[in-house]
Amino acid sequence: MSLVELIARADARGLAASGLACLDRCVPLLDGDDEALRPLWALLADDACGAAGRDWAEGLAQVRDKLAGPDAGGEDEAVVLARRMLEAAPAACTGPVLRTWADACSVASLRIHRLLDPVGDAAREADVPRDGGTEGLPPLVAAELRRQTGVLELLADRGAAGLRPALEVSTEGRRVLRAVVSRRARGRA
């Protein structure tokens, strides 16, 4: 199934985890530590998309405070896109707004990976196709597309039991992006 189809079929927990995973992989752009989103992951494990939805809103507010950065005026496009993902996260972990957020996070994260891919100079302005495979995509972008698909498949197949492996997939992606961001910063210095 394509990434677009997986997002269309995902339940609330899958959508929340998908958006959260995209954001989690982009935390290095927000100068956040590796544990910045851990409270939200824990809430998903505790079914924050169900009866405890208020806890999700409180956890999200705390994360926003922790990752609040300077005004986006002088930041590059990748950082702006990451900040928008965080700002757009819905306070309610239900409804069509959650699907819209998860879909927007998918697009933004792929765009970020395309902007940061050191190999993928061609077609930086084009959107990454999400309804096919990874053929012809730069390595960083192809890996991100596989991670997004993997997270949604884990949650569709395993439900709540898929959260831990989904977090592991996200952690791996965050480490990769942190290395890319670090290399990029050294190149600019």
Q: What is the pLDDT of residue 14?
A: 94
Residue in 36, 88, 27 with CA at minimum distance from that of residue 62: 36
Q: What is the pLDDT of residue 189?
A: 62
Q: What is the pLDDT of residue 136?
A: 81
Q: What is the pLDDT of residue 48?
A: 54
Count CB-CB contacts under 10 A for residue 56: 25
Local mean pLDDT, 10-residue blocks, the chain (189 residues): 94 94 95 90 76 76 85 75 95 89 96 86 64 84 95 95 95 95 81
Q: What is the pLDDT of residue 155?
A: 95
Q: What is the pLDDT of residue 75?
A: 75
> In which region does residue 123 sit, left (phi positive, over 0), alpha (psi from -120 to 50) or beta (all else)?
left
Count CB-CB contacts under 10 A for residue 146: 16
Q: What is the pLDDT of residue 142?
A: 92
Q: What is the pLDDT of residue 53?
A: 60
- pTM of the shown model: 0.91
Tell me how many helices (H) and strands (E) the chain has: 8, 0
Q: What is the pLDDT of residue 176?
A: 95
Q: What is the pLDDT of residue 133?
A: 79
C-alpha dihedral sign at 124, 34, 157, 46: negative
- Answer yes or no: are the C-beta atoms of 24 and 85 closer than 8 Å: no
Q: Which two tokens stand for residue 23?
A: 């954001």
Residue in 121, 119, 145 with CA at minimum distance from that of residue 133: 145
